[in-house]
Copies of this chain bind each other. A is one copy, B any other.
Amino acid sequence: MTEGDIIVPSNSRPEFADQFEAKIYWLSKEDLLPGRVYILEAVGGKSEATISKLKYRLEKDGQHQIATNTLSDQQYGVSNISLAGAILYDPYSMCNAMGHFNLLDKFSGEVVAEGEIHHGLRRANNVHWQRLDIDKQSRANIKHQVPKIIWLTGLSGAGKSSIANLIEKKLIAKTRHSYLLDGDNVRHGLNKDLGFTDADRVENIRRIAETAKLMLDAGLIVITSFISPFRAEREMARNLFDKGEFIEVFVEASLEVCEKRDPKGLYKKARAGEIKNFTGIDSPYQPPEHPELVIDTVTLTLEQAADKIIGYLEAISG
Contacts of A142 in B (CB 8 A): 172, 175, 177
Task: Find the B residue at minimum CB distance from A132.
Answer: B165
In the assembled complex, A218 has its CB within 8 A of some CB on chain B: yes
Q: Could you mark each residue 123-153 of chain A with 1 if its beta carbon is under 8 Å from any beta carbon of chain B, else 0?
A: 1001111101110001100110000000000
Please pick, from B52, B134, B186, B207, the residue contacting A172 in the complex, using a CB distance under 8 A. B134
CB atoms of A214 and B217 under 8 A apart: no
Cβ of A100 < 8 Å from any Cβ of B?
no
**How far, in Å, is A177 (CB) from chain B's closest CB?**
7
Interface secondary structure of A, over-half rule: mixed
In Å, the complex CA distance between A214 and B192 comes to 14
A68 at the interface (CB under 8 A from B): yes
CA distance A169 to B188 in the complex (A): 33
* A129 interface neighbour in B122, B188, B217, Cβ under 8 Å: B188
Q: Is A269 an interface position by the 8 A CB rule? A: yes
Of all chain B residues, the one with the shortest Cβ separation from A169 is B133
- Say whether A82 contacts B139, CB under 8 Å: no
Contact between chains at A82 and B220 (CB < 8 Å): no
In the complex, residue of chain B having the shortest beta-carbon distance to the beta carbon of A133: B169
Pairwise interchain contact B133-A177, C-beta atoms closer than 8 A: no
Which of B65, B133, B240 is the one whose CB lies under 8 Å from A165? Answer: B133
A179 and B211 within 8 A (CB): no
Assuming A56-B66, A133-B168, what are 7 further A-B pairs, CB within 8 angstroms?
A53-B193, A53-B195, A80-B193, A121-B195, A134-B180, A139-B177, A181-B214
A-B contact pairs, 15 of them (CB 8 A): A53-B193, A64-B66, A82-B192, A122-B275, A126-B264, A127-B183, A127-B184, A129-B184, A133-B169, A142-B172, A142-B177, A177-B219, A179-B214, A189-B210, A190-B210
